[in-house]
Amino acid sequence: MIRVPTEPAGRLSDAWRLCVGTGRAELALRRDHQDSLALLQREIGFRYIRGHGLLSDGMGVHRPYTWQGARHVHHSFTYVDQVVDAYLERGIRPFLELGFMPEGLASGRQTVFWWRGNVTPPRETNEWTALVRATLTHLVDRYGADEVRTWPIEVWNEPDLPGFWENADEAAYHRLYEATAHAVKEVDAGLQVGGPAVSPGADGWLERFAEFAERRDVPVDFVSRHAYTSGRAQHVPFGVHQTLAPAGDLLDQFAAPHRELKGTRLAGLPVHITEFNSSYRPDNPVHDTAFHAAYLAPVVTAGGDHADSFSYWTFSDVFEETGVPTAPFHGGFGLLTHRQIKKPTYHLYAFMARMGQERLAHGGDHLVTRHADGRVTVLAWAPVDPSGLTPGPERHALRLSVPVGTRPAGEVFVRRSTVDEEHGNAYAAWRHMGSPRSPEPAQLDVLREAAEPSRGHRRLPVEDGRVDLALTLARHEVTLVELTPLEDETPPWWDERRLLGRETP
C-alpha cells in the first residue's frame, strides 16, 4: 500500500492544458470544428490553440491587385476575424503560427499537404514583413494590445524538414526569423515572438538558433520544438502502422530544449512543445484506442515538469492534411472524431481537468491531487507495452492510503470513471458494429453513448483521516477516482429497511 502524504509536494502545473493543436486555420469556420471546440472547452478547458496556415491562401489575407497600372497588396482579414472570434467566443486564445507562404508572395511552387500549403521563402522580404506587420497591427486594433500580448507568435513550422521549408535551408530560416521577429516588435514591443518550431529530428538546430539570435541580437521570447515517438510508417490503403518508443521518450524530448540551451542567451526562456503525440501520422489507428490513453497518461501527468507547455496534436479529426477521411475512425490525431465522438485520450484530458491544484503524490501508475475544498482526486492508469507486441496486463492492482481532510472518522463519497478496452471506447463499439464507414444518425448516437466512461459510485470509511483505496485496473485502463468527504443528512426518522425490496438483516 502506498501512503499518500498529507502535505502537497507542490502544485499541479497547467502546462498540460496550456495549448492544443488544430488543423489549418480556416477549418475553424466549420460547424463541426466549432461544436467540437465548445465541447472541449466545456469539459477540458485549454488556454491556447495552434494550427498551420494562418497566412496561406485559404485565409485570403495577402491579396495583390493592380490599380492604375501598378501592383499593390491589400491585406484582408475577413476570415482571420471569423476564426479568432470563434476561438475567443469559446474561451480559447490563438497561439499564432506565422505561415505558410501566400502564393502571390512565394518564391517557389513547392507545397505540403493535400491542401497545398506553399513552403518556399518569400520572394520579397519587405512584402513578407509588411504582411506580418499588417496582420499583427490588425489583431492589436481589433482585440487590444493587452490581449494580443498574451498570444505567443511562432515563426513558421518545422523548418528543419525539407517538406515544410524548401531544402530545410537553415540560413534562410534564420533570415526569415530575423525579419519576422523585428516586424512583430515594430508593431508592439510587448508581443512575444519565438521559434524555431523544429521537428524531433532537428539535430543542433536549437543550439545554432541560440547562437544566431545572440550574434544578430534578434528578439526571442520563447523557444519551441515538437515531440513524437513513432517509427517508420508501414502503409496500408488510407492508413499506416508504426511502432512506438516508450512514452518516457516524449518526456525526454520535452526536456531537451532546457538541456540544449544551457549556457546560451536563450537559457531560461519559456519552452513550448508546440506539437506532440505518439505517431506523427493522421492516419494511424493507434490514436483511436484505449491503449493510447494509457500510453500517454504518464506523459500528460508529468510533462509539466519538463516544459512550459506541450500541445496535443490535435483536438479534432476535422483536419485534412492527408485528405478527407474515409471513415469515422481512421487514425486521426483528434481527441474527437468528426461529429464529436470522444476517443479514450479525450477522457485522459477530461480526467486531468478534474484534478486538484495540490499535487499529493505521483507515481508510475498514479497521480493524486487535492482541491481547495478538500476533495481528493486520483488518476490511475494501467501499464502498457509500447512496442505493441504484447497487450498490457489483464489486471493491474494499486492500493493507496489517501488522506481526506481533518476529521479522523466518517465516510467519503467515491465516484469512479473508467476508460478501457470495453468502456468509454467508441472505437471498440464501432468495430462491433462492423466498422460502418457512413454511420446512420442512430449509430452515431450509439457511438457517442459508448464513448462515455463507465461510472460507479460507493461510500468508503475514513479511519485516522485516511481512506484505504484498493483499485484494480483492467487492460489499458485509465481511471479517475474522486473522493468527497460527506455529511450525512439522512433524517433521524429514516429507516432504509422499510423501503420495499431492501434486505433486512
Point out which span in 55-63, 211-219, 255-263, 396-404 binds its own copies (CB under 8 A). 55-63
Point out which span in 191-199, 269-277, 451-459, 462-470 binds its own copies (CB under 8 A). 451-459
Does position 419 bind its own copies by CB under 8 A? Answer: no
Least distance between its own copies and beta carbon 290 (Å): 8
List 449, 463, 468, 472, residue binding its own copies (CB under 8 A)? 449
Q: Which amino acid does the sequence have at 27?
A: L
Rounded to whole angstroms, the Cα distance separating 297 from 277 reads 12
List 327, 363, 393, 401, residue binding its own copies (CB under 8 A)? 327
Does position 388 bind its own copies by CB under 8 A? Answer: yes
List 5, 391, 408, 461, residue binding its own copies (CB under 8 A)? 391
Half-sphere exposure of 384 (CA within 13 A, CB side): 27
Using the minimum distance from each CB to its own copies, give the nearer residue, 363 or 436: 436
- Print the SS3 string covering 344-367: HHHHHHHHHCCCCCEEEEECCCEE
Does position 488 bind its own copies by CB under 8 A? Answer: yes
Point out which span in 25-33, 198-206, 360-368, 398-406 binds its own copies (CB under 8 A). 25-33
Question: Nine-digit cell at 78?
Answer: 475577413
Using the minimum distance from each CB to its own copies, give the nearer residue, 192 or 278: 278
List 7, 171, 263, 498, residue binding its own copies (CB under 8 A)? 498
Within 189-248, which residues bind its own copies (CB under 8 A)? 236-238, 241, 243-244
Does position 504 bind its own copies by CB under 8 A? Answer: yes
Does position 434 bind its own copies by CB under 8 A? Answer: yes
Q: Could you tell me which of 342, 246, 259 has the C-alpha nearest to residue 294?
A: 246
Binding mask 75-114 for its own copies (x = CB under 8 A): -xxxx-xx--xx----------------------------
Q: Which of 26, 97, 154, 158 is catalytic?
A: 158
Instruction: Give me the phi and psi of 10, to 5 degrees please.
Output: 145, -175
Name the region of 199 (left: φ>0; alpha: ψ -120 to 50; beta: rest).
beta
Does position 42 bind its own copies by CB under 8 A? Answer: no
Does position 69 bind its own copies by CB under 8 A? Answer: no
Number of residues that bind its own copies (CB under 8 A): 100
Least distance between its own copies and beta carbon 42 (Å): 12
Does position 133 bind its own copies by CB under 8 A? Answer: no
411 among known catalytic residues: no
- Print the SS3 string covering 240-304: EECCECCCHHHHHHHHHHHHHCCCCCCCCCCEEEEEEECCCCCCCHHHHCHHHHHHHHHHHHHHH
Using the minimum distance from each CB to its own copies, give the nearer residue, 100 or 165: 100
Rounded to whole angstroms, the Cα distance separating 62 from 436 reads 42
**Please, are residues 409 and 486 in contact by the beta-carbon 8 Å criterion?**
no
Does position 169 bind its own copies by CB under 8 A? Answer: no
Rg (CA), the chain: 25
Rounded to whole angstroms, the Cα distance separating 350 from 142 reads 32
Q: Which residues are bridge partners to 370 per DSSP?
A: 358, 376
**Please, are residues 162 and 205 in contact by the beta-carbon 8 Å criterion?**
no
Point out which span in 40-48, 177-185, 361-369, 411-419 binds its own copies (CB under 8 A). 411-419
Rounded to whole angstroms, the Cα distance separating 462 from 288 reads 39
Return the active site residues. 158
